[in-house]
Amino acid sequence: DYDPAYSQSHEPVRKQKTAEGHAVRAVYMYSAMADVAEEYQDKELMEACENLWENITQKRMYITGGIGSSGFLERFTTDYDLQNDSNYSETCASIGMALFSLRMANITRDSRYAEVMEQELYNNILAGIAQDGKSFFYVNPLEIKPRQCMPHTSRAHVKARRQKWFGVACCPPNIARTLASLGQYIYGVDGADIYTHLYIGNQTDIPVNNDVVQIRIDSMFPWNGNIKVKVQGVKEKIKLHFRIPSYSENFQLYCNGEEQELKVNNGYAYVEICENSRIDIQFDMPVAFLHANYKVSADVGKVAIKRGPIVYCLEEIDNGPDLQCIYLSSKEAHVRKSRSFPECFEIELQGRRLISKSEGLYSSDGLSYSDVNIQAIPYAYWNNRREGEMLVWIHEIIG
């Protein structure tokens, strides 16, 4: 019963246009394809990389960055097949997708690749490790009822809490490796052009021509969009490129205190400097309410909450059981410092809760609702307080 698509050997790589087979194996191979395409300037191979990346991000990837929806063979399935409570979305697959996107960003210098890389890092990858660093998720669902995660069922692979270790223990060390190598994701360099992909606070030395430029970024990103960049060691003209996130509003760039007219190329605002300089970047990150393509049957009539790169979710500890009975009824959102995770922001929303009039399994009784406050936390933080239900895609009441 072996299917060659499982190992991406069903046809020559240059002819592949859809992501097939084992998700981790696939994106590792695509990363290698991108490396070879760049090294040998192989346009046909690069076109295959672009096609595969587009297929994943536009038709086969969860809003959290999870890929590989099938628990059976840990694989891609078909376009728009993105069920939420039995998906696989292996942590290692998202790490591989970040590696693939990093290569595409540095090769093409197109910001959309860096944005997906950021989506992976802040959501599905970060969810794979507990806040104390001592337990891990191999599988990353977008909806969970702990009592339904039963052995010897179709949800046996889904765990209601992070595990201390696994028989096949690829994910824990892979997360450690990714966090330890986080610096490689922040910048891209092309001669005298320096690209800032991510606004993570850091201090680094970057070789530029025959000199070394020191860059320091101070920020509280992703919780606010106030970024301070200090550049030293500049002896010749260099060009600094700063990614304009698609979710940002009122993006402004200042050089040595003077606001710059935005010059943009492929989603990056750039400025040329000939001396040590201070760059200030400011942008707003309003709460966004996102809907999936209508072909994603699992998400029809539902909404997901996102602020900046962070996808939010509901947990039972904040909102009570039976999260599927909660409907979002207003787009008004109150962003505040979290009471449980001091370093992050949570979002308070208004909604309604479905009230059952009958205890029977099926009933012709009408529906009624009560008003409720909804509290949402970053998806990556779920299951850090206690075991319970979790939900990313929320029912929505129109009007």
Count how many domains the chain has. Answer: 3
183/168 Cα distance (integer angstroms): 27
> Where among 284, 306, 321 does a domain terminate?
284
Mark whether 292 and 174 lie in a shared domain: no
Question: Model confidence over 54-72: pLDDT tens digits?
Answer: 999 999 999 999 999 999 9
Indicate whether 399 pLDDT > 80.
Answer: no
Domain holding 231: CATH number?
A: 2.60.420
Query: What pLDDT does 357 receive?
Result: 77
74 is catalytic: yes
Indicate whether 252 pLDDT > 80.
Answer: yes
Mark whether 238 and 155 lie in a shared domain: no
Mean pLDDT, residues 228-252 taken together = 97
Mean pLDDT, residues 128-157 taken together = 96
**Which residue in the block uniquely carries the two structure tokens 């539902």?**
302
Q: Model-level pTM? A: 0.96
Mean pLDDT, residues 313-319 taken together = 98
Mark whether 147 and 163 lie in a shared domain: yes
Confidence band (pLDDT; 50, 70, 90) for 364? Answer: confident
Catalytic residue among 20, 74, 143, 346: 74
Mark whether 189 and 217 lie in a shared domain: yes
The one-character DSSP state at 321 is: S
Question: Model confidence over 22-34: pLDDT tens digits?
Answer: 999 999 999 999 9
64/288 Cα distance (integer angstroms): 14
> Where among 261, 284, 307 does a domain terminate?
284
Residue-number span of the structural domain to which 246 is assigned: 184-284
Mark whether 241 and 161 lie in a shared domain: no
Mean pLDDT, residues 92-116 taken together = 98
Question: Model confidence over 329-355: pLDDT tens digits?
Answer: 999 999 999 999 988 999 999 999 999
Mark whether 343 and 361 lie in a shared domain: yes
Mark whether 171 and 190 lie in a shared domain: no
Indicate whether 210 pLDDT > 90.
Answer: no
> Where among 181, 214, 232 does a domain terminate?
181
149 is catalytic: no
Query: What pLDDT does 130 receive?
Result: 97
Other beta carbons within 10 angstroms of residue 182's beta carbon come to 12
CA 42 to chain centre: 29
Mark whether 257 and 135 lie in a shared domain: no
Mark whether 243 and 161 lie in a shared domain: no
Indicate whether 366 pLDDT > 90.
Answer: no
The one-character DSSP state at 261 is: P
Indicate whether 187 pLDDT > 70.
Answer: yes
Mark whether 54 and 118 lie in a shared domain: yes
DSSP string, 3-59: -GGGGT-SS-GGG--S--SBHHHHHHHHHHHHHHHHHTT-HHHHHHHHHHHHHHHHH
376/380 Cα distance (integer angstroms): 12
Query: What pLDDT does 367 receive?
Result: 85
Query: What pLDDT does 207 receive?
Result: 93
Catalytic residue among 170, 255, 325, 344: 170
93/148 Cα distance (integer angstroms): 24
Mark whether 177 and 188 lie in a shared domain: no
Mark whether 102 and 224 lie in a shared domain: no
Query: What pLDDT does 356 receive?
Result: 81
Residue 294: C-alpha distances to residues 62, 77, 82 (Å): 14, 18, 12
CA 145 to chain centre: 23
Q: Length of the chain, please?
A: 399
- Sorted by sequence, the CB contacts under 8 Å of residue 330 that are 6+ apart come out as 349, 350, 351
Indicate whether 396 pLDDT > 90.
Answer: yes
